[in-house]
Chains A and B, each alone.
Chain A
Amino acid sequence: MLKYSLKRLAQSLVTLFIIITVVFLLMRLMPEEGYFGQAYEKLDEAQREAILTGMGLRDPMHIQLKNFYKSLLVGDLGKSIIYRPKVPIAEILKTKIPYSLYFGLTAVVISLIAGISLGIIMARSKSQIWDKLGTGYIVFINAVPAAVYYLFLQLYVTDIFKLPILFKPDNTASWILPAISMSLGSTAAYAMWMRRYMVDELNKDYVKLARAKGLRNKTIMVKHIFRNAFVPMAQYLPSTLLYTISGSIYIESLYSIPGMGGLLVDVIQRQDNTVVQALVLIYSSIGIIGLFLGDVLMAMFDPRINLQKKGGAR
């Protein structure tokens, strides 16, 4: 277990390192206007070169890369250029992260509760009305582009329930719709997985044996089926959890929530290279951490994972 986790951790770190490198190299391909802001038009070629050299961007690539690693190691993400000139990016993020986190966590809680319950209900009433309704919901969420139902919610539901269209931090009612919108996708995903894994388990032989030995259906559901169905879920949970937090890019700009997702859209449009770079790094790290935690969580629940080291059956 510990050995497995350490191995997966090492793998994750290597992946992270590769991603940092790739992101850095890709960012070098961005138009260089991004390093000047408003001043770009007023400067002549020689002045621009001087500024770029001053920022270290004319150094040989391996030197640049080395400097980049170094500053990352001490937690220095660099300074914003256009978005808020000369302000450290970490400073900017400090004001943004809490919003994303609150919304993300609210959405995660909603979708975990709603999704898993829906999945269980669907599995138990297989091919009956609840199952069909739930399947309809899942198909809808997967087939219709998120932007469409997000917009629909924002335009019509706000109207029906007299909710504010845009987010205002001091207006609690304005929190509701973004959080719900954000949870719709992962609710569908959790419900789909939960249903599938539970139905898979339901048809397994050990369930027949459990019935034959005299356990009640309810006991079997809770102690065998739910528990077993949850294990493959555990692998995805951290990823989707983190994904929900970062998946708010669209919703944050839709409701103008001053969070990280809105920021990403903003800085891409305004070509603030250093901030884009920092955000891309953060999102990809989140992805890697999610996968890592998922695997560790799964290993905690499933004794068979450790099989890889030792020969199993004796």
Chain B
Amino acid sequence: MTDSKIILSVKDLVVKFRLRGRVLTAIREASLDLYEGESLAIVGESGSGKSVFTKTFMGLLDGNGWVDFGEILYGGENLAKYKTEDDWIKIRGKNIAMVFQDPMTSLNPLKTIGKQVQETVELHQCLKKEEAKKAVIEILNDVGIPEPERRYNQYPHEFSGGMRQRVVIAIAVACKPKILICDEPTTALDVTIQAQILGLLKRLKKKYKLTTIYITHDLGVVANVADRIAVMYAGDIVEIGNCEEVFYNAQHPYTWALLSSLPQLGVKGKPLHSIKGTPPNLFHKIKGDAFAPRNPRALKIDFVEKPPYFTVSPTHKAKTWLLDPRAPKVEPPESIEILRKQWGLSKDA
């Protein structure tokens, strides 16, 4: 993907929230380059800041939050400087669109789904009523809703969860955005529907040449939808690389922990790995590597200084002192060793 051009570039982003008079730092100097046409997955445990991070691209932070530092470069502009609604209107829907987690609550229960899609179409494509309706029906058809003419006049409660998520997706792609952010688009759906929705998103991505960001807890589906994986911990991207690189040659102890807890990778006869401890308190200033207190393999320096990115390959980098040439050799957990061997890489090579 390095050959395509960067469509969105986030530099040292810091996002803070004020909560009951105290300030918490949800995103801590996170950086990310998003390449045109790629599909990036962001993984990380609950509260790691995946949603907050991507919401800043659309100016959708809750009222008590703000971008404290950093840049979000898109289309030659710094979105981090955007303040007014007029600024953001240019971005939302047209350039960057979002699919939310829960299709049951994402639609207005009192408006027909046709009207809800049409709102977007009329807004961005300046179509007249009848043309707009035609466009809507076409989009509904596109996202796999049968009998779109009839469905146009129905209300959300007449749709199943999967069908509603298709409507939400229709709304998101209605204006042909450049970037589509899917924030856990299938978490609320059952497994068979999940697969259908993921399939649909892949198809639409191709058809509309979308750049997509998938946010997910589920490392299992990542390989299926993403070219690259970004691992987020405590508001920072600690490791990023191609799918294979992150899966089979993970470098950050947090990525190891995430991978080890995958049921697919459990070693027979042993209890499934779970990450000990809790994420750091975001109200406090974090010193060193945020994961160090939960990392049984932590080095002394992990508690003192924040690691920079170390390059593993041109497409793969991780923020861990283990990659520093001066670091002592540390054995990854057993399951990671197995993964590395599967990839044809021995740790000595």
Partner-B contacts on A (CB < 8 A) = 204-206, 208-217, 223-224, 227-228, 231, 301-304, 307, 312-314
Contacts and interface: CB of A to CB of B under 8 A. Distances in A.
A314 to B, nearest CB: 7
Given A208-B106, A303-B109, A303-B157, 12 more contacts: A208-B100, A209-B171, A211-B92, A212-B92, A212-B100, A213-B120, A214-B94, A214-B123, A215-B119, A224-B108, A228-B109, A307-B157
A301 B108 CA distance: 13
A210 B110 CA distance: 14
B158 A213 contact: no
Contacts of A302: 109-110
A220 to B, nearest CB: 10
A206 B106 contact: yes
Given A205-B102, A208-B100, A231 B110 contact: yes
Interface string B117-128: 001100110000
Contacts, number: 83
A304 B98 CA distance: 27
Contact of A314 (B89, B108, B110, B158): B158
B48 to A, nearest CB: 20
B66 interface: no
A217 B110 contact: no
Interface of B: 58, 60, 85, 89, 92-94, 97-98, 100, 102, 105-111, 119-120, 123-124, 155, 157-161, 168, 171-172, 174-175
Given A214-B120, A214-B123, A215-B123, A206 B160 contact: no
Contacts of B97: 212-213
A214 B60 CA distance: 11
A206 B85 contact: no
A304 B109 contact: yes
Given A307-B157, A312-B157, A213 B106 contact: no
Q: Is the interface of A mostly helix, strand, loop or mixed?
A: helix
A227 B60 contact: no
Given A205-B102, A215-B119, A313-B159, A210 B85 contact: no
Contacts of A314: 158-160
Given A211-B92, A214-B93, A307-B157, A205 B106 contact: yes
A213 B93 contact: yes
Contact of A214 (B92, B111, B159): B92
Given A209-B171, A213-B123, A303 B100 contact: no
A224 B116 CA distance: 10
A302 B123 CA distance: 25
Contacts of B159: 313-314
A312 to B, nearest CB: 5
A208 B160 contact: no
